[in-house]
Amino acid sequence: MLALPPAPSWFPGHMAAFAKALPSLLTKAHVVLEVRDARLPLTSVNSHLEASLVEWLNARHKTGGVRERIVVYTKKDLVPSWGEQRLRRALAKHFDHHLHFVAPSSPHSIRALHSSLVSTRNTDTTATLNVLVVGMPNVGKSTLLNSLRAKGTKSSQNEKPLKTSSLPGLTRALSTRLKLSSTHPIYAIDSPGVMIPFLGHGDTGKERGVKFALIAGIKESLYDDETLASYLIWRLWKDRPNRNSPQSTNLQSNGPPPNPDPSKFDSYLVLGALAERIGAISRGGSLDLDRAARYLVRWWRAGGHVKDGYDSHCTTVRSWGLDFEFNEEVPLGPLQRVEADLVGNANGSDDPLQARMDGIVGRFVEELKGTGSGLGISATQLKKREREEKKRVKVEKFKRSVVLPSNRQAP
Ligand SMILES: Nc1nc2c(ncn2[C@@H]2O[C@H](COP(=O)(O)OP(=O)(O)OP(=O)(O)O)[C@@H](O)[C@H]2O)c(=O)[nH]1
Ligand SMILES: [Mg+2]
């Protein structure tokens, strides 16, 4: 691992107050929109809020009425789209949440989420649908509600009742109720982003901290740009996809060896070259590495690596977002159909990327369970799902065995 600074702690009072108030707020909620950042699909799962959310959802059988947890991955425009469906499948093996990938620049994605809310309301006689939005800082909670409101009330896109910011921690208190639809009584409340009080020991905590800082999810002054840029350069170099382009031979020969050694890696060479290219020269005539670092971090945050076509024409990939690292080139092919997965392979996939992503999600879930966060669905629900899955596979196999004889040649 690259040398990184120790993980800081950033858990101001308003976050602690909201986390404490969450169980009582949930009693009035019908839907929780749990917002995560698609660039950090696993790290932005808030283990600190998880126990309250699981308890609230599990109590739905006792209380009756609508209780729905919808996980919303924002910033879908900042990750390559090939990972969406695969992440959806990998998570479905452990959780029964509804999942959406959204971005304000994708009206279709906002429309789909809005329709989900409307149809959730229609399944119940409850007159009003109360939606509570929760998640880590700066993942895009307030932006999402503004977009949903603009969609549902046909108000102007420029009319933004909730303030948003590129810096974390802007929303510090619960918002007033926001009407999300002019035809249905759907109301939402925005909440302050909540960080995890402790980011973890050793390298894990250090890397988690830098990842949050890169997505601007942690107080800006806790990290300097050069640290963030060094980590970013390391990741971009290590995760470089193989491109099927005229320059691919050149790019591949410059690519990382199978197990790159971080101690031999010099991000300052790259920063120097970047400073030269963008003309970042300080007064004395030396290269302004700080400015180059800032430039690089901003470029990445704006999705430069995705929008500039960094991932287009890939035949193999090594990562997806910052949480999925494959440490080798994995062929990127079209996604297999689910039916074929069920019959073909007990683990559910012949797709090498799917298998890698399943493995990473599986390890993540085990780790979180170890922290006692109460993560995910209950053991009984999980067993029930496994039974259903086995039954489905059996039925599929049976169907195939029935169809096969008619295709065989007569002896
Ligand atoms: N590219 C892109 N940017 C987004 C998206 N959603 C939100 N943003 C940007 O992310 C930043 C944070 O958005 P906010 O809505 O303020 O985030 P928040 O979760 O409410 O933040 P806190 O109130 O601090 O917890 C803003 O600069 C938004 O413009 C998205 O889907 N794509
Ligand atoms: Mg906000």
Q: What is the pLDDT of residues 326-343, one digit of tens each?
A: 988 888 877 766 544 444
- Give Dmax (Cα) for the chain: 90
Buried b (16+ CB within 10 A) or exposed e, 254-291: ebeeeeeeeeebebbebbbebbeeeebeeeeeebbbbb
pLDDT in tens, 2-26: 889 999 999 999 999 999 999 999 9
pLDDT at 294: 96
Q: Kindly report, as residue ranges, where domains of CATH 3.40.50.300 are found in the chain.
A: 17-189
Q: Which ligand is nearest to the CA of 303?
A: 1
Q: Which atom of ligand 1 is nearest to the CA of 135?
A: 19
Cα(314)–Cα(331) distance, integer angstroms: 9
Is pLDDT above 60 for 379? no
pTM: 0.85
pLDDT for residue 118:
92
Confidence of residue 358 (pLDDT cuts 50, 70, 90): very high
Residues of the chain with CATH 1.10.1580: 224-318
Pairing of strands 98-101, 242-243: unpaired
Q: In which residue are the tokens 């400073």 written?
A: 275
User: Which CATH number, 1.10.10, 1.10.260, 1.10.20, 1.10.1580, labels domain 224-318?
Assistant: 1.10.1580
171 lines ligand 1 (CB under 6 A): yes
| DSSP run (H or E) holding 187 | strand 186-189
CATH topology for 17-189? Rossmann fold (3.40.50)
Ligand 1 atom with the shortest distance to the CA of 138: 21
* CB distance 152 to ligand 1 below 6 Å: no
Ligand 1 centroid from CA 201, angstroms: 28
Residue 139 alpha carbon, nearest atom of ligand 1: 19
